[in-house]
Structure 1
């Protein structure tokens, strides 16, 4: 597969641009394709547990994209990251790396933002919880009610949600081949990414707080009787 999709493809006029990038992400994409097909065939034969896996499909250019580099394809130089055939990239670090990374994944989301995800080895930490146990009741008006009498309200997304709906209506009126549609598509993607980040930030902070402060966690969720029937 690597010989056909990489070596021979570089010799064609339509795929000669493959020579401009490093071989490492190309080889990783072939390896990922092999894993995807193995999972698909194992799923239809009943050898794979869980939900049935569909066959791999081509990704759209406007969707989330990623490229994975192994050792030898990247290095860290001070505050910058060097990628093979790309050069040094100025990076804003969210946190220091606890150990030397074994691989690096470059991610581009639908909003056009780039992220670097490192695979590192860390030692697990043991923390003493202040509470022996806590019960959590997930609701509708109140996001969570804790047995410690604490009430956790969900952030308000209504203002941002209205912006998204308004931008989506404008996007639907744009011509599919126009540059104005692409600019509006990017605007909608950025608004959705902002909403997604706010939700993740809220959930991660809440879950981390609950886990660090309690040894045992019991959760329950309200179920609508009409839906249950």
Structure 2
């Protein structure tokens, strides 16, 4: 198996996904858009599974980040070629955009460990989330569901938390890959945003102490859920 990762910032890495890749003895390659030396995009034939990670930028920030245009095209081509694709946070928004949906500011931001709920009565081919799971969020945008997708999960603060396209593409607004190290890195590098949101006394914002205290409590369960999603996407590879 050949896994290619689109990474937008150095501090949002693979987390527990790396353990899954190692367990599959898969080869791993990266496009690191923040690096002058590793920012080239692969040919579609170069990978079996595409993973699109998160980042603080918006899908709509193409003027500031011109590489977004080519990234969207790669995602579109990967989906058209029936390559399994997993998108996390910004990655999910990029998939939604690439499938023709609009990405825009959500009514609230979600930062911290908050529950999502599974959508009931899904088609047989859909990935099934647990009825409720507490997961790690750090997002302020949302998206319309693209045509032909299955709505998988929602939360009180954001309706479209997870979706599936056919049987080989999944987008997650939240971070199931989160480990103690990943949570610490995001808190460290996004401290200004966290301080700004805490000053507004919003409902779905936790402070640094809450986030880092809750991470060991919830990360094992969400990491296990991530492994199941990856197994689901890779079942035909």
Class of the TM-score when normalised by the shorter of the 2 chains: under 0.3
Normalising to structure 2: TM-score of the pair? 0.20
Normalising to structure 1: TM-score of the pair? 0.20
Indicate the structure (1 or 2) with the bigger Cα radius of gyration: 1
